[in-house]
Structure 1
């Protein structure tokens, strides 16, 4: 049975409309994805750990005693916000936010530093050597793996190492720390750490 010409034209027209719609939708999705990526890159360019005015200035990660005193009153708020963020990404560190903040205040550095390093090094302790509790890539060189007995021990040992080997030696920006912490990095390490600072602050 021969199909009527008008019906054939109608089918061709409908198929053309459907195909065009699919193509347009595909272009739209691709455009939105590209736009999202550009926005992320733009945000990263603006990241400033200590809210400095200079776009390319890297403020120090150390904190003065005055700022610590003023922030102690907000420790519960900092801990609660950090805990919410770490829970949202399923990081086991969410149980240790009080320890992280206590160590940072005691040693005089920004409380987000160890968390940001852990996020960069191990996706927040989710990708670490078995039974190592080492979220920071601390003392890991090839087959050599530094292991801790718990996350809390890891936090305290790494915090002490950051204080003695970096802060006390004047290495107080992400770029300074990167040059010693991971000397082979092309800058992406410091960039990522600053990115995670911003993510925590804006959560």
Structure 2
């Protein structure tokens, strides 16, 4: 005759049940995480727009190298477009002349912003446009005339290099003391302000 069945401990049953339940739970969490990663591979990229879009200036991660002439020219022309500047389309000229003369690509453009609202308020002589957006060589009725924006950019950029950068005068407020000594400081503040806007212009992503 068989003896009595051995008593099964509840504690012995609890351990494998707990292990099995934990394993199933971890497996389900893993599956759910994988599902989310495939359905939204890049959740932080939610706003794509072209560098030539009408959205406001954005400070953020750039998708191009600032060493590129095209990149810096696009930055300048985008800022010119945002401010409705007559200088729009001359970004490449500013960059190429700046590189040739070893000055920051934004400097001559920033001076133009400060002196003439980026070419909006240029002097004329006998009704003829001067294309002088820099207030350079303008004294009373004397107005330095340029044939076009390109000539003005080239001439003023070369001057900024020869008169200042070659003499180790590189700070806008030090340049101001010679370029426009009567200024109370607003000139260099304006140049620095627009220099920051231009040099920090970024686009999240081109599409």
TM surpasses 0.5:
yes
Structure 2 residue runs of 5 or longer lacking an equivalent are 1-64, 202-207
In the alignment, what sits opposite 1:105? 99
Residues 1:180 and 2:184 are matched in the alignment: no
Deviation (angstroms), 1:202: 3.8
Greater CA deviation, 161-170 or 188-197? 161-170
**Runs in 1 of length 4+ with deviation above 4 angstroms?**
none
For residues 129-167 of structure 1, the C-alpha deviation after alignment (integer angstroms, 9 at most, x for no partner) is 131000000000111110101100000111111111111
- Give TM-score scaled by structure 1 length: 0.63
* Offset at residue 71 of structure 1 (A): 4.6
Corresponding residue pairs, total:
133
Q: Which residue of 2 aligns with 1:193?
A: 191
Q: Higher relative contact order at CA 8 Å, sep ≥6: structure 1 or structure 2? A: 2
Partners of 1:171 and 1:139 lie apart in 2 by: 20
| 1:143 paired residue number | 141
Q: Which has the higher helix share?
A: 1
- Max Rg structure: 2
Aligned-residue RMSD, C-alpha: 1.4
Unaligned 5+ residue runs, structure 1?
1-69
